[in-house]
Amino acid sequence: MSPAMLQASSLCVSAALSGAASRPGRLASQGHQGKRAVAQPLAASAVTEAAPPAPVVAPPARPVDAPRRRGGRGGGGGGGELVAWKSVRQERWEGALEVDGELPLWLDGTYLRNGPGLWNLGDYGFRHLFDGYATLVRVSFRGGRAVGAHRQIESEAYKAARAHGKVCYREFSEVPKPDSFLSYVGQLATLFSGSSLTDNSNTGVVMLGDGRVLCLTETIKGSIQVDPDTLDTVGKFQYTDKLGGLIHSAHPIVTDTEFWTLIPDLIRPGYVVARMDAGSNERQFVGRVDCRGGPAPGWVHSFPVTEHYVVVPEMPLRYCAKNLLRAEPTPLYKFEWHLESGSYMHVMCKASGKIVASVEVPPFVTFHFINAYEETDEEGRVTAIIADCCEHNANTAILDKLRLHNLRSSGGQDVLPDARYVHTRATRTTTSTHARARWMTGNTMCRVGRFRIPLDGSQFGELETALDPEEHGRGMDMCSINPAHVGREYRYAYACGARRPCNFPNTLTKVDLVERTAKNWHEEGSVPSEPFFVPRPGATEEDDGVAISMVSAKDGSGYALVLDGKTFEEVARAKFPYGLPYGLHCCWVPRNRNSK
């Protein structure tokens, strides 16, 4: 056992952190080649350079029962809970996966998923899905075979929690509990410097143009480089510029040549738009957008770009510096809802940094933009920007639904917020009657929200529903598209949808934005995560490829599911020998990537 593994298991024994142990165990499945279920630290080449060995089935890891919150009820713990919402006892695991079906031989690379898969510290259970410590799960495909691996990201926040058995940094809803008033004052001081904010990079994962792989969250310091082969934490990604800021969008737009990001400015409400060349660690200032409403910038978890423009959304769900300071979470966590402040979409020219449009739009709530592109007239002049997102009906209720207590107590109820667009409050008084009337009457079912932002100097933009939300069960989030279409016209989006009744998206859906239809995959009681589209090398059609998702199944098992990009039918599944916790975003690392 390596020192790292020894450290991990002894920490686990001391119960500093539930979910920190791997258990060596018996080998199952006669006829399968023997291999220890617990991964020894492997040479990076063991998986990536050679075809994976024949499938082995390792003993199931035991999900950690969701413990009670200290001093209170809740947190679940009932036997009927889904493995998706449990921390799984696998600190570090690697092994060949049993495959049902035929994996395409062209599928040659690694599917890597990040997410907050550890929600317990000893007997203390976290509150919110987004609080969990970052967990990487990967499946490497080669020659029709699959090898899986699973381990935690060694952020400072995670290491400190493991060492001290308590939350030491400010997470999404959890904050360190001060031992005394003096230590509370000390904490406030560290907040202003950003040093008490977490670096728990539990949200996104991207491959940069130079092949480096980064895990991300909303704090800038939570950009952490990982090795996609070993899942080792390589170290902090240091931005070498002087742009500053504490938080940024969790979803930069990354291409082979560049990286675009948004840095909200909480002091002088606005956003800095920055870009970074592939191979560099230095972001460059491109331009600035001043907010048009509210006391603070709107939350920018993600944003879209087109070929020539960056789209900067300003929604009424705005950051709140006061809430960042609080010891206990507020209903909207670090945010506040300011309907009266209005909602806007800004468009910045990538080349000049100039704002070419800034329009007021109907109120909206979105975490994930899907894509954007330029609409042109017959002469090829750009007349408008089309920007699509997973829109939550201008309703912030989804944040509450994603509390672990709610996710764990499904009870068969249909509690996933519905897509119906109901205005319960008047829009801001400065809005023209015309626009107000449009908001009150039209566009009443928003799931794939489609913004149209005219570039002719108009004051208002439109927000419409791109297809009938019933097509995907009135639920839709966690989206991917063919990467060749980022910033360009596109037709297909792959996402999680809903089969009612449910309390969380429980289907995979392929949305056709031209036909306005959807194809859905569903397996009763399963929780699938973001389907990531991987194009077939040499493909000319947009949906020629596969969509890969990880499924936490009702029977406690977990598998990577490979769906055909066109038919949306199952091609194969690669089964983990234990259940997987839910995870958020993913990326594809081709075998022949450049790597630094």
Point out the annotated binding site for Fe cation: 251, 301, 368, 585
Q: How far is the CB of 332 from ligand LIO64GT3 (least distance, A)?
A: 10
Taking the least distance from each CB to ligand LIO64GT3, the nearer of 88 and 479 is: 479
Taking the least distance from each CB to ligand LIO64GT3, the nearer of 170 and 408 is: 170
Taking the least distance from each CB to ligand LIO64GT3, the nearer of 198 and 410 is: 198
Taking the least distance from each CB to ligand LIO64GT3, the nearer of 88 and 584 is: 584
User: If residue 549 lies in a helix (H) or strand (E), which one and from where to where?
Assistant: strand 545-552
Q: How far is the CB of 520 from ligand LIO64GT3 (least distance, A)?
A: 14
Q: Are 28 and 84 in contact (CB under 8 A)?
A: no
| 3 state SS for 262-278 | EEEECCCCEEEEEEEEC
Q: How far is the CB of 351 from ligand LIO64GT3 (least distance, A)?
A: 31
Q: Are 298 and 246 in contact (CB under 8 A)?
A: no
Q: How far is the CB of 273 from ligand LIO64GT3 (least distance, A)?
A: 19
Taking the least distance from each CB to ligand LIO64GT3, the nearer of 22 and 198 is: 198
Residue 122 φ/ψ region, left for φ over 0, alpha for ψ in the -120 to 50 degree band, beta for the rest: left
Q: Are 289 and 270 in contact (CB under 8 A)?
A: yes
Taking the least distance from each CB to ligand LIO64GT3, the nearer of 356 and 398 is: 398
Q: How far is the CB of 493 from ligand LIO64GT3 (least distance, A)?
A: 13
Neighbours of 54 (CB within 10 A): 12
User: If residue 136 lies in a helix (H) or strand (E), which one and from where to where?
Assistant: strand 133-142
Taking the least distance from each CB to ligand LIO64GT3, the nearer of 172 and 439 is: 172
Q: How far is the CB of 334 from ligand LIO64GT3 (least distance, A)?
A: 4
Burial of 392 (0-12, 13-18, 19+ CB in 10 A): buried
Q: What is the number of the residue whose Cβ is closest to ligand LIO64GT3?
A: 477
Q: How far is the CB of 274 from ligand LIO64GT3 (least distance, A)?
A: 18
Taking the least distance from each CB to ligand LIO64GT3, the nearer of 271 and 373 is: 271
Sign (positive or negative) of CA dihedral 161, 166, 169, 174: positive
List the structure tokens of 557.
């098992």
- What are the b/e assignments for 425-440, b being 16+ CB within 10 Å? eebbeebeeebbebbe
Burial of 454 (0-12, 13-18, 19+ CB in 10 A): middle
Q: How far is the CB of 263 from ligand LIO64GT3 (least distance, A)?
A: 13
Residues whose CB falls within 8 Å of the CB of residue 581, separated by 6 or more in sequence, listed in order: 63, 83, 84, 85, 86, 87, 88, 115, 117, 118, 132, 135, 552
Site residues, ligand LIO64GT3 (CB under 6 A): 130, 170-172, 197-198, 203, 217-219, 247, 250, 301, 334, 367, 398, 477-478, 496, 505, 584
Binding residue numbers:
251, 301, 368, 585
The CA R_g of the chain, rounded to the nearest whole Å, is 23
Q: How far apart are CA 302 and CA 216, in angstroms?
A: 12
Q: How far apart are CA 230 and CA 149, in angstroms?
A: 8
